[in-house]
Structure 1
């Protein structure tokens, strides 16, 4: 029982710290000693230490002996590599899902995320749009039931998401991206394997060009 409680505290510390990083409340370059981070969470140091080790393995922070943890920056080179991997893996995952001819019930989470993106765009709530966009990609990945793929791509989502949050208001409204999400969902529902793959690849390639242009042309804090 005690061990289970410890795991729960570690998971809680991990999720809370990851959220601080992904929402840029702990921005790239942020550094603090372990006791300060534990105080920030109102937790003891043991679960916080374990959570920091997990965050380092996810590529979000680095642990510096006697100096605590530092949130890692993400360079244009990092993002180019991340999007190259996402462009290679995600379209195949989506195509595989289309091939399986999932039911409407199975795709309900994707439909919900798409509806949320469209509603957020209408009210110009970019933060809500980004949350729904992240949910769409994670739910699609989960539907493949490939744990290794989910672990690999999920860690890349975490690294890419915080950069997207920083650049959110430096881009045009995500009208095209929202339309592409709806189109991808349509082709998955219809079982259009090759079209799903092609549209998803185009979606990732376009997003990569847009984001890399911003990173290469703006001096962003911590990046």
Structure 2
């Protein structure tokens, strides 16, 4: 039992560290290396790294290439368009569902903290912290909604979208408008305004997608 728990802990650690490197673009799209090279880079043994890479392949972040190791998958403009279309379809209805059933102050606390952190990060011009708080807001909403399959599915889309956001974060206007929209979404949830929560959330996702895709196209690259 102890050996199994130790192995699972090592695999979980390798998975979390590799995913963090990919999400932050420290292992950028197109990066390719053998499993021993990746293990050496991470300071870990090869076996947990291999199992972590298998998980990341299932999530659409890497491709395992026989005898050549792993490659971090690029994110195309079309990928991002599809991802944002799905999120625009899912999240507004999830927000409306939370507003309609009502949420307690304690239940909304993670959303409040994320919104406060977004505002503080914006004031400090810390865009990386802002993006992290933004991710927490959306994840907390789906946690509150309670559909586990939706949350797990959306989490994979968030991981793929996050890489493109980090590339374009400093090429966009400061996220003042986005921060205001998150505050408004929170207030709609507090008020139990299902119709308003759905409307604000959908408008937010559509605007964010439009801005992101315009920047990716202007970079002249079909893929990141």
User: Deviation above 6 Å: which 4+ runs of structure 1?
Assistant: none
Q: Is the 8 A contact 1:14 1:52 kept in 2?
A: yes
Question: What residue is the counterpart of 2:38 in the other structure?
Answer: 37
- 5+ residue gaps in structure 2? none
Q: Using the alignment, how far apart are the partners of 2:59 and 2:91 within structure 1?
A: 19
CA distance in 2, matches of 1:18, 1:188: 31
Three-state SS of the structure 2 residue aligned to 1:70 is strand
Q: How does 1:16-35 map to 2 (within 5 A)?
A: 16-35=17-36
The question of 1:140 aligning with 2:141 is answered yes
Is the 2:76–2:223 Cα contact (8 Å) retained in structure 1? Answer: no
Aligned length: 223
Report the equivalent of 2:206.
205
Distance 1:11 1:146 in 2: 24
Between the aligned partners of 1:25 and 1:197, the Cα distance in structure 2 is 35
CA distance in structure 1 between the partners assigned to 2:107 and 2:82 by the alignment: 31
Q: Deviations over 1:140-191 (max 9, x none)?
A: 1111221110111110000001110000000000000000000000000110
Query: Matches of 2:164 and 2:42 in 1, distance apart?
Result: 23
Aligned partners of 1:27 and 1:222 also within 8 Å: no
**What value does the CA root-mean-square deviation take over the aligned residues?**
1.1
Q: Distance in 1 between matches of 2:18 and 2:201?
A: 31
Change (3 A) 1:194 1:221: closer
CA distance in 2, matches of 1:39, 1:98: 48
1:152 corresponding residue in structure 2: 153
- Map 1:204-223; keep pairs closer than 5 Å: 204-219=205-220, 223=224
Structure 2 match to 1:67 = 68
Report the equivalent of 1:14. 15
1:13 partner SS: helix
Gaps of 5+ in 1: none
> For residues 72 and 49 of structure 1, what CA distance do their matches in structure 2 show?
16
- Note the alpha carbon deviations across 1:43-73, whole angstroms, 9 max, x for none: 1111111100000011001001111010011
Give the C-alpha shift of residue 40 in structure 1: 1.3
| Aligned counterparts, 1:91-130, within 5 A | 91-130=92-131
Taking the aligned partners of 1:10 and 1:189, their CA distance within structure 2 comes to 40
